[in-house]
Structure 1
């Protein structure tokens, strides 16, 4: 959709926003948030949000999420981002951030996706979990998280950093763009083991697993260990639940949670086929995406 046309389609949404959101001086204005959405829709690079505090980033994310909800509908989950210290370093921050996932963002393994699926398209090895119980909002340990989920799902996330100069983004800037949520490819869900001994082994396997990205010829593209995410990947869920509650949001049964990156963020190219494998996690089936 041309940028001018996309801007026009957001006018009604802006009217709905009105004066409901009180912004810090550096929070994007309603007009700037509409421009951000227009670039998102058009898949063209948006101006970088600058001089944002953490509160400004959250304020801007809130405005963008209101506009995205009017366009995309149902929230199907949330993503914890910058949960890997190596990725935090890239964005000059020392803490995670979060964004919302919308209906239609999660595709199935084997999907073919345009290499230019976003303005600043990337891919990474990730993982989803599915919430079983609202008790997850009070979970403080990976064990308690495991009790409150019913699936672990291999996942290649396809984020879009969407701005003109991604290297200039910091944590607040990543928050402002809804943590780059755009698409992702989900594999075969793994059920949570029923028995106590199996559950302990499963928790250990999640921390110890080696996650690898390979191309169609089997050449390694990147990867990492399960413990690269906050020392245990399920710690991303406890962090997210706490962060959401600070903004009056609770995780609900059926919600998906993206845990973050086990690998570096890599740029796709047409003709590339990518497979993510989870060696050491029993029963985990590789997940695949092809770029055209």
Structure 2
């Protein structure tokens, strides 16, 4: 099978929330980054709308023999609104993140809380490699932004005292800090934009950057969710049983 044919199969599986096809052997990170824009356009028929950091946890990086996180792209159909209901989908995970919007030259515009939904279902355990994870866009599925604040008006020092608390139907699932992933939105923005430029990725105007998972990813089980970001507000959503 040619790589173009494989990308078509991979894009089809991503669009259908299906198990990913078996990956060709030996996909390297360099090759995955080179192919990633082609995969993204096959999934959404449009250029990407932003960036996402993945494997920002140092222990996970060591597990995969990586020296830095991974970078993915966001599909133009990814964004949903806080308060929306989502159907249950097996293997979907919830990640509590920070979000940065940016200009076409990479300069930051605004920052705020976000929730990302990721979904990765490999056909074989041996397909779980850094190259394959990158090539499937780190499981990019959906995301929602909370209330955004202009970058120059944001109190970054206050993040050190902020606790993220995620609940489902009133039960606390997670407590974490917005500084856990890449040290927070400032360093996450710097790394992601720098990495994207080094890879030759286009930066869209009003682009969206998801800065990586704070705390553990949560199973996206049916229920009503509230992710509290202290003075930054709450991101709420629900997952239906069907």
Short-chain TM bin? 0.7 to 0.9
- Structure 1 segment 11-22 matched on structure 2, within 5 A: none
Please give the per-residue CA displacement for 1:66-103, whole angstroms capped at 9, x wherever unaligned: 31242xx2422111222232554565644211122122
Please give the per-residue CA displacement for 1:23-61, whole angstroms capped at 9, x wherever unaligned: xxxx97111111111211222101343432211322342
For residue 138 of structure 2, what is the aligned residue in structure 1?
179
Aligned residues: 239
TM-score, with normalisation over the residues of structure 2? Answer: 0.86
Flag the structure with higher helix content. 1
Runs of 5+ in structure 2 lacking a partner? Answer: none
Larger Rg: 1
* Cα root mean square deviation, aligned: 2.5
Are 1:244 and 2:203 matched, yes or no?
no
Q: In 2, are the aligned partners of 1:111 and 1:185 still within 8 Å (CA)?
A: no
- The whole-number CA distance in structure 2 between the counterparts of 1:124 and 1:91 is 20
Query: Could you say what secondary structure the match of 1:45 adopts?
Result: coil
- The whole-number CA distance in structure 2 between the counterparts of 1:67 and 1:214 is 35
Q: Report the CA distance shift for 1:287/1:28 in structure 2 as closer, same or farther (over 3 A).
A: farther
Query: Could you say what secondary structure the match of 2:144 adopts?
Result: strand
Runs of 5+ in structure 1 lacking a partner? Answer: 1-26, 137-147
Are 1:121 and 2:74 matched, yes or no?
no
Please give the per-residue CA displacement for 1:228-248, whole angstroms capped at 9, x wherever unaligned: 112233211111111111222
Flag the structure with higher strand content. 2
TM-score, with normalisation over the residues of structure 1? Answer: 0.73
For residue 15 of structure 2, what is the aligned residue in structure 1?
41
- The whole-number CA distance in structure 2 between the counterparts of 1:231 and 1:259 is 10
